[in-house]
Amino acid sequence: MAHHKSALKRIKQNKVKNARNKHVRTTLKTFVKRVREAVASKDVNAAKEALAAAIPVIDKTATKGVIHKSNASRSVSRLVKLVNTLG
């Protein structure tokens, strides 16, 4: 265990940030999963709705710094491409 006051504070901050990042990351995965499930069931309307809901979540995750902005861009691109395969 750390002894310096600054190190103890850093440990506390890391715990809080880790919990927040974990929540954001799992939420992101859920939204992406909904899009993929809608595409798998070949439901065009549900897939488009799920995609419309997922894109802001992906962007916000990148803004918060949980994922890199290139990763967010790539994810959105791939999901749009996937949904467009349904026609």
pLDDT digits 0-9 by tens, 48-59: 999 999 999 999
Length of the chain: 87
Mean pLDDT along residues 14-18: 97
**Is the distance from CB of 31 to CB of 54 less than 8 angstroms?**
yes
Which amino acid appears at position 60 of this protein? K
* Distance of alpha carbon 28 from alpha carbon 25, whole angstroms: 5
* Distance of alpha carbon 44 from alpha carbon 48, whole angstroms: 6
What residues have CB less than 8 Å from 73, skipping those under 6 apart?
62
pLDDT tens digits, one per residue of 39-87:
999 999 999 999 999 999 999 999 999 999 999 999 999 999 999 999 7
